[in-house]
Structure 1
Amino acid sequence: MLARVGRDSLARNSVLIMASTVGTSGLGYLYWMVAARELPRPAIGTATALISAATVVSMVANLGLGHMFIQRLPGAPAAAWSRIVGAGLLLGCAATAAAAVAAVLVLPRIERNFGFLNGPVAAAGLVATAVALTASMLLDYVFVAHRASQGMLWRNLALAVGKVVTLLGLTASGLTAGRLSGSAAVVLAWTVPSLAVTVVTLRWSLSRLRPGYRLGGALAGAGLAGELAHVRGSLTGHHLVNLAQAGPSALLPVLVTARLGAADNAHFYMAWMTASVLFMVSPAVAAALYAERTNAAGRSASLPRASLVTLAVIGLPAAALFLFGGRILALFSPGYAAGGGPLLKLLVLAALPDAITNLAVAHWRSQHRLRRCLRLNLLMAAACLTLTWLWLPSRGIEAAGFAWLAGQSAGALMVAVLALLGRLGPLRRDAAPAGAALVRRLAPPHPRGADRRPLLHPVMRGRPAARLGHRTRPAPHARPRSRSWRVP
């Protein structure tokens, strides 16, 4: 079984991406368990609200460069590879920093529950966290583009271990009880390891992935200026699809904070993080499927195989979370189990339609049907966010679960309808020749005279005869030949 997975590029990279996700999620449980047991709930709520806002900023401002990496990096020469990666990272991080500053200035003025961003420490934390998230995401796509997801696995495991170790060090040193607030400790432990791992990846890992890589390749010649055209194409294409696809998951914690406050967001975030183990499986397989079809050596990757990989991985964890999710949340504290248990069940139910829509979007991306991807994602985003905003005051954090399930189910229904129409399409095309023949029989004869088409020579079918004044002579080389090689 392991040998078969090792030979199958789609399965291997899907498993590696999912292993990265599972390992990161497992260490993430440990990270938030330490935070929940050592720090008060309001501090956890504030920290999760800040991290969620930074995630939204990073998602909006990364310019869709990750999918551009998948399209352009395989097969690129070393100099062009360095320019693409360097310019993409520089432009993406610069745009993220500018968007984060704008968020610091705007969010506290439009929603009082984000008033904590008025402080300089929280403002700097939002900017640094958003930039770290963008750099980390873009480097992950570099490894996925080369079907070398093992680099992504080790990088994310090192990042997750660094977060846990840093948080343990801050809480054990007593800084959280003195000069450093609890929320600042959580954000600091979240961001500093990410920046450190990014530096190590840029300095050593990329040169092993692509021999000849130069860190300053983006600044050589017309590096940045030459990449702007590709960035604009990525911004108007894949980035809009990405925003509509990942926007609801990133915005839900922000909406919960805005409507209910930071304390309720702590309950929501723990349940959401627990369910994210399921929501990360299908995007991992979808990313591997898209990378396989973009790479010339893996264009045979099929949607049924990707679906089987997803179902095989998602089945057992989904059943375990649905049956024992309350006990898992109780590891943080009994209050988190009571507040987030029903929400977790709703999120688990939404995992299947979420997998359907993610794989459908990856399939359509590989066929360059970006408008269809965008319409599907916009339908789900509009349903989820609108229902969440309307239901939160009356139903509490469970409203986000109902809205997420409704949005994903609407998207899966749209995929089913489009698949049915696609199956009916060949039937309509097969019936066309008989109808076309009937039309030809009933059509009037072609008009004679000046409007008549040029005569075709009886031997050279499809070739018009040459006209010389009012006389017509056969086209050259029109002499009929015998069945033998010799001309009689």
Structure 2
Amino acid sequence: MTTDEHQEHKEHRRKLRFLLRSAASLASTTVITAGLGFLYWALAARVFPAASVGEASTAVAAMSLIAPLTLLGFGTLLIAELPDMTEGRSTLVSTAALVTGLAAGVVAFGGALAIPGDFLGLPGINRPAVAAIFAAAVATQAVGLLLDQALLSMDGGVIQLRRNLIQAVVKLILLAVFALTLVKWGALSIFASWLLANVVSLAVISVVLVRRYRVPVRRLIPVPRMLRGLHINAARHHVLNTALLVPYFAMPIIANVILGSEMAAYFYAAWSVASFVFFLPLSLSTALFASGSRDSRTFTLEFRKTLRYSLLACVAANLVMALVGRFVLHIFGENYAEAGFTSLIVLCVGGLGLIVKDHHVALARVTGDVGRESLLVAVLSAAELIGAALGAMSGGLTGLALGWLVAVVLGAVLYAPRVWQTYLGRVVVAPSGAAVP
């Protein structure tokens, strides 16, 4: 092996370690937050009235929906932009965080005043004071998500893991404190623990980043001109991100509207369990995008590895769910296992199609073909929802899952040629990030 070949081999191993470390951090974040989240809601259910828990969980769901939809595309845009910048990174991140936080806060505050309170959960949310609390929580949630995404290509997901761990632990501690002191405020005190935990996690991580990179305070002052020329690309990323997110949040709504609240509960349980089959492949494709944004010279090799690892992980997860899925659903209740098991298996099989979709999206992001990808994903995401709705009307809960699966398979068929060409090396990603047929 020549010196150049040895150096190239070392560089490839370094990039592969970054890729796998990023994916592991993303997957660990999901597992840890899910586990601590289970403890959080279990504690809430023990010490607060059921009505308060229901109101708070509705408010948290609304926050979790609004926050990613108000990132304005800056999160994924910064994944691609930051590695190539030689200066001004901290100023760009702080400026994007300010714009994102303001957008999220304004949308949340306006929605709290205009939307019927039952949709957002918190009692009295149509009053300005409560609406302001909701808006602050959504704003801090959005800024946290922005930092998680923006820094992914810089540190491989370590910051994301730490911030989410801090947020989850602080939130759990605050809930215990509020249960002893502010229990009379019910849902509002539960929700306040999320807001304050967001603030603490952002403050701690900001201090860590400033010290690690020795960033002068003056460079943290937002400068609007830093976003000049980025707004069009940010808008494209925003459309793509929204198209990817909508099916995840809309599927339970379709179940509720067409099948009723009881069947919707069974579906939500199956959908939540199936998400554990989806998250590892999604972590790998996200890490692929982050790694390709840093250096696309070995993108094809990494693409092959993540595609193989994702398919292997998904097949293994499907086999596990076939064996233990009914038992897992039984934790929710006997009726959940009886009504939702078949749907769970169908949804898990759909994870194989989502792998093809996620890799197609990662390729488009690295090559800068986000605009066309946004349109394609938007159309196929709409097809997923239409398929689910038609399936629900004709076949109930199982029909809903099958209708969604048919649409996912259709999407995979359309995504597959480009993915397969890239896997074979027929689409070469140049160092500039452009795709060369």
Q: TM-score per shorter chain, which class?
A: 0.7 to 0.9
Q: How has the CA–CA distance of structure 1 residues 24 and 420 changed in structure 2, closer, same or farther, with 3 Å as cutoff?
A: closer
Q: Which amino acid aligns with 2:63?
A: A
User: Which residue does 1:225 correspond to in 2?
Assistant: 225
Q: How has the CA–CA distance of structure 1 residues 115 and 256 changed in structure 2, closer, same or farther, with 3 Å as cutoff?
A: farther
User: Which residue does 1:447 correspond to in 2?
Assistant: none
User: After superposition, what is the alpha-carbon deviation per residue over 1:412-453, rounded to whole angstroms, capped at 9, x for unaligned?
Assistant: 1111245578899x8xxxxxxxxxxxxxxxxxxxxxxxxxxx
User: Which residue does 1:28 correspond to in 2?
Assistant: 37
User: Which residue does 1:347 correspond to in 2?
Assistant: 347
The SS at the match of 1:287 is helix
User: Which residue does 1:273 correspond to in 2?
Assistant: 272
Among candidates 6, 14, 28, match of residue 19 of structure 1: 28
User: Which residue does 1:240 correspond to in 2?
Assistant: 239
Q: Which amino acid aligns with 2:309?
A: V
Identity over aligned pairs, percent: 25
User: Which residue does 2:215 correspond to in 1?
Assistant: 212
Q: Which amino acid aligns with 2:361?
A: V
User: After superposition, what is the alpha-carbon deviation per residue over 1:136-174, rounded to whole angstroms, capped at 9, x for unaligned?
Assistant: 211111331204322222222222233333344445x38
Asked whether 1:290 is paired with 2:298, we answer no
User: Which residue does 2:79 correspond to in 1?
Assistant: 70
* Correspondence list, 1:157-168, <5 A: 157-168=165-176
Judge conservation of contact 2:356–2:419 (CA < 8 Å) in 1: no
- Deviation of the 1:101 alpha carbon: 2.5
Judge conservation of contact 1:48–1:265 (CA < 8 Å) in 2: no
User: Which residue does 2:204 correspond to in 1?
Assistant: 200
User: Which residue does 1:119 correspond to in 2?
Assistant: 124
Judge conservation of contact 1:268–1:397 (CA < 8 Å) in 2: yes
User: Which residue does 1:455 correspond to in 2?
Assistant: none
The SS at the match of 1:281 is helix
Judge conservation of contact 1:104–1:117 (CA < 8 Å) in 2: no
Separation in structure 2 between the aligned mates of residue 129 and residue 407 of structure 1, nearest angstrom = 35
Q: How has the CA–CA distance of structure 1 residues 413 and 11 changed in structure 2, closer, same or farther, with 3 Å as cutoff?
A: same
Q: How has the CA–CA distance of structure 1 residues 423 and 299 changed in structure 2, closer, same or farther, with 3 Å as cutoff?
A: closer
Separation in structure 2 between the aligned mates of residue 340 and residue 43 of structure 1, nearest angstrom = 27
* Correspondence list, 1:163-182, <5 A: 163-171=171-179, 173=180, 176=183, 179-181=184-186
User: Which residue does 2:324 correspond to in 1?
Assistant: 324
- Deviation of the 1:367 alpha carbon: 1.9
Judge conservation of contact 1:113–1:258 (CA < 8 Å) in 2: no
Judge conservation of contact 2:92–2:226 (CA < 8 Å) in 1: no
The SS at the match of 2:249 is helix
* Correspondence list, 1:455-470, <5 A: none
- Deviation of the 1:64 alpha carbon: 0.5
* Correspondence list, 1:38-77, <5 A: 44-77=53-86
Q: Which amino acid aligns with 2:225?
A: A
Judge conservation of contact 1:383–1:403 (CA < 8 Å) in 2: no
- Deviation of the 1:113 alpha carbon: 5.5
Judge conservation of contact 2:68–2:145 (CA < 8 Å) in 1: no
Judge conservation of contact 1:376–1:414 (CA < 8 Å) in 2: no
Judge conservation of contact 2:56–2:121 (CA < 8 Å) in 1: no
Q: Which amino acid aligns with 1:205?
A: V
Separation in structure 2 between the aligned mates of residue 399 and residue 266 of structure 1, nearest angstrom = 16
User: After superposition, what is the alpha-carbon deviation per residue over 1:27-57, rounded to whole angstroms, capped at 9, x for unaligned?
Assistant: 2333344445666666555444333332332
TM-score (norm 2): 0.80
- Deviation of the 1:191 alpha carbon: 3.6
Q: Which amino acid aligns with 1:320?
A: V
Asked whether 1:373 is paired with 2:373, we answer yes
- Deviation of the 1:359 alpha carbon: 1.2
Moved more, 114-123 or 245-254: 114-123
- Deviation of the 1:242 alpha carbon: 1.1
The higher radius of gyration belongs to 1
Q: Which amino acid aligns with 1:196?
A: V
Q: Which amino acid aligns with 1:22?
A: V
User: After superposition, what is the alpha-carbon deviation per residue over 1:4-37, rounded to whole angstroms, capped at 9, x for unaligned?
Assistant: 7996222222222222222222323333444456
User: Which residue does 1:251 correspond to in 2?
Assistant: 250
Separation in structure 1 between the aligned mates of residue 422 and residue 296 of structure 2, nearest angstrom = 27
The SS at the match of 2:379 is helix
Q: Which amino acid aligns with 2:185?
A: L
Separation in structure 2 between the aligned mates of residue 393 and residue 44 of structure 1, nearest angstrom = 31
Asked whether 1:140 is paired with 2:139, we answer no
TM-score (norm 1): 0.72
User: Which residue does 1:306 correspond to in 2?
Assistant: 306
Separation in structure 1 between the aligned mates of residue 238 and residue 411 of structure 2, nearest angstrom = 19
Question: What 5-or-longer segments of structure 2 have no aligned partner?
Answer: 1-12, 427-437
User: Which residue does 1:440 correspond to in 2?
Assistant: none
Q: How has the CA–CA distance of structure 1 residues 268 and 249 changed in structure 2, closer, same or farther, with 3 Å as cutoff?
A: same
Q: How has the CA–CA distance of structure 1 residues 45 and 117 changed in structure 2, closer, same or farther, with 3 Å as cutoff?
A: closer
User: After superposition, what is the alpha-carbon deviation per residue over 1:286-319, rounded to whole angstroms, capped at 9, x for unaligned?
Assistant: 2211121111376445311111232344444433
The SS at the match of 1:229 is coil
Separation in structure 2 between the aligned mates of residue 38 and residue 336 of structure 1, nearest angstrom = 25
- Deviation of the 1:208 alpha carbon: 4.2
Separation in structure 1 between the aligned mates of residue 54 and residue 144 of structure 2, nearest angstrom = 24
The structure carrying a bigger helix percent of its residues is 2
Judge conservation of contact 1:48–1:266 (CA < 8 Å) in 2: no
Q: How has the CA–CA distance of structure 1 residues 164 and 253 changed in structure 2, closer, same or farther, with 3 Å as cutoff?
A: farther
- Deviation of the 1:93 alpha carbon: 0.9
Give me the CA root mean square deviation. 3.6
Separation in structure 2 between the aligned mates of residue 106 and residue 259 of structure 1, nearest angstrom = 25
- Deviation of the 1:282 alpha carbon: 2.4
Q: Which amino acid aligns with 2:235?
A: T
